Structure formats: C-alpha cells, structure tokens
C-alpha cells in the first residue's frame, strides 16, 4: 500500500481533534499550551503533506512549516510568560479558577 495524501490529512485531523479535546478539557494551563502545540503540529503535518504531494517543486508548504514552528515557539514562550504572570498573582494554574470575567 502506497502512502497517500489522505492518510496524512486524516492523521493531521486526528491530531488536531486530540489537540482540541485537550485544549477544551484540560484544567492545567500548561497542558492547554501543550494542546495548542499539538494543534500547530497537526497544521504542520498538513502543510508538509500538501507540500510533498501537490507542490513537490516549489515546496512552499515546507517554508510555511518553518514559519509556523518559529512562531509557535515564540507563542509558547509568551504563553508560558502569561501563565507565570497569572500564577504569581493567583497562586494557581487551574483554568477553572480563572473565571473572573463572567457575565
């Protein structure tokens, strides 16, 4: 059986769904960030798959992937900084404790 684009896309979609599940259900804020990383990686998988199967000459997808990894790193850094800032104030990183801005 030959590897097909659909397999990559399905895998990426599965990874994305797992990431979303983690993003929405995790109580730990760091785990939320980790889920975000999963999402980004699922995206990267998509980009790589499309790049290999549809655009093998110019591989623009791979360039996009590099940018995504870069920005994801920066985003993770900022995200951890935000979590740290919140933690300093509230002594917890439980997402359910951060519901001050409601109705």
Partner 1 sequence: MLQFFSQTIWLIPCYALIGAIFAIPWSPGLIRRTGPRPSGYINILMTFVALVHSIFALVEVRQTGTQFFSFNWLDAASLQINFEMIASPVTVGALILIAGLNFLAQIYAVGYLEMDWGWARFYSLMALFEAGMCALVLCNSLFFSYVILEILTLGTYLLIGFWFNQSLVVTGARDAFLTKRVGDLILLMGVVALLPLAKTWNFQELAIWANTVELDPRLATLLTLALIAGPLAKCAQFPLHLWLDEAMEGPMPATILRNTVVVSTGAWVLIRLEPVIALSSFTINTALWIGGVTAVGASLIAIAQIDIKRILSYSTSAFMGLIFITVGIGEPQIAFSLLLTYAVAMALIIMSLGGIILNNISQDVTQYGALWSRRPVSALCFLVGVGSLVALPPLGDFWGLAELSNTLNGPFLGILLLVNGAIAFSMARVWGLMFTGDPTPMTQRSPEGLWALVLPMTGLAGIALHLPLILSQLNLLPEFPLLTETPVLLLTASTLIGGSAGLVIYWNRNRKGAVTLGSQALQDFFAYDFYTAKLYKLTIVFAVDIISQIIYWIDRFIVDGVVNLVGLITVFSGQTIRYNTSGQTQFYVLSIILGIALLGITLCYPFFDQLNFVLN
Q: Rule CB under 8 A: which residues touch partner 1?
A: 6, 10, 20, 23-26, 32, 95-96, 98-103
**Which C-beta is closer to partner 1: that of 7 or that of 67?**
7
Minimum distance from CB of 54 to partner 1 (Å)? 15
Provide the minimum distance between the beta carbon of 32 and partner 1 in the complex, in angstroms, as a whole number.
7
Q: Which two tokens stand for residue 2?
A: 């030959």
**Least distance (Å) from partner 1 to the CB of residue 45?**
17
* Distances, alpha carbon 56 to alpha carbons 4, 5, 73, 88, in Å: 14, 13, 26, 48
């Amino acid at each position: 059986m030959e590897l097909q684009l659909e397999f990559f896309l399905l895998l990426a979609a599965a990874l994305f769904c797992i990431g979303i599940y983690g993003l929405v259900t995790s109580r730990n804020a760091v785990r939320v960030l980790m889920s975000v990383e999963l999402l980004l990686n699922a995206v990267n998988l998509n980009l790589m798959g499309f790049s290999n199967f549809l655009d093998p000459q110019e591989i623009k997808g791979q360039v996009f992937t590099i940018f995504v990894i870069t920005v994801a790193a920066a985003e993770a850094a900022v995200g951890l900084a935000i979590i740290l800032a919140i933690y300093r104030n509230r002594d917890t990183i439980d997402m359910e404790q951060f519901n001050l801005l409601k109705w």
